[in-house]
């Protein structure tokens, strides 16, 4: 249970970063931290004590396996996370070209 709570705290650190930081790069880092914590939580739920890697080899055809379903779902989520982080970074770099700063307060006050 303590592992689940620590995972939750990691998610909350990411949320804290998104809500209180004023720098675009740090906001992106906060989003990525939230995503990582969710990935880790899925794998933590699927772990079984004393089980092995879900790969069929000689002598381990039947043996207790770790749950392979969360692993298959997170496998795609990690690569999508890279692509979305790159999309956010490209938006940030474009805003920097237009306003000359990463500070969202200045970007906000320069509008109109």
Partner 1 sequence: MKGMGIIVVKVSQIIAPVIFLFGLYVIVHGHLSPGGGFAGGVIMASAFILQILANGAILPKLRHEEHGLEFLESAAILGFLILAGLGLIISGSFVFFANFINRGVVGQLISAGFIPIENIIVGMEVCAAIATIFIALVVFKDEVSE
Partner 2 sequence: MEIYLIIMLVLMILGSIYSLHAKDLLSAVISYGIVGFGLVISFLLLQAPDLAIVQVVVEIVTLVIMIAVIKNTTHEENEKSFSFSTIFYLAVVLVFAATFFIIFDKMTGTLSSFGQHFTRMSTAYIEGAHETGSANLVTGIVFDFRAYDTLGEATVLFTAVIGVLTILRLKGKKKDYK
Q: Which residues bind partner 1 (CB under 8 A)?
A: 53, 55-58, 75-76, 78-79, 82-83, 86, 89-90, 93, 97
**Residues 16-45 as x/- pattern, contact with partner 2 by CB under 8 A:** xx-xxxxx-xx--xx-xx--x--xx--xxx
Residue (9 or 78) nearer to partner 1, CB: 78
103 beta partners? 23
What SS3 state is found at 52? strand
What SS3 state is found at 45? helix
Q: How open is the CA angle 93-97-102, to the nearest 5 degrees?
A: 60
| Residue 57: CB minimum distance to partner 1, A | 8
């Amino acid at each position: 249970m303590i592992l689940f709570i620590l995972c939750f705290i990691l998610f909350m650190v990411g949320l804290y970063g998104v809500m209180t930081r004023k720098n675009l790069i740090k906001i992106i880092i906060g989003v990525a931290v939230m995503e990582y914590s969710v990935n880790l939580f899925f794998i933590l739920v699927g772990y079984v004590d004393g089980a092995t890697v879900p790969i069929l080899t000689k002598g381990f055809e039947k043996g207790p396996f770790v749950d392979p379903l969360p692993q298959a779902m997170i496998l795609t989520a990690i690569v999508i996370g890279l692509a979305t982080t790159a999309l956010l970074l490209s938006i940030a770099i474009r805003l920097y070209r237009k306003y000359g700063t990463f500070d969202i307060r200045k970007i906000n006050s320069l509008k109109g």
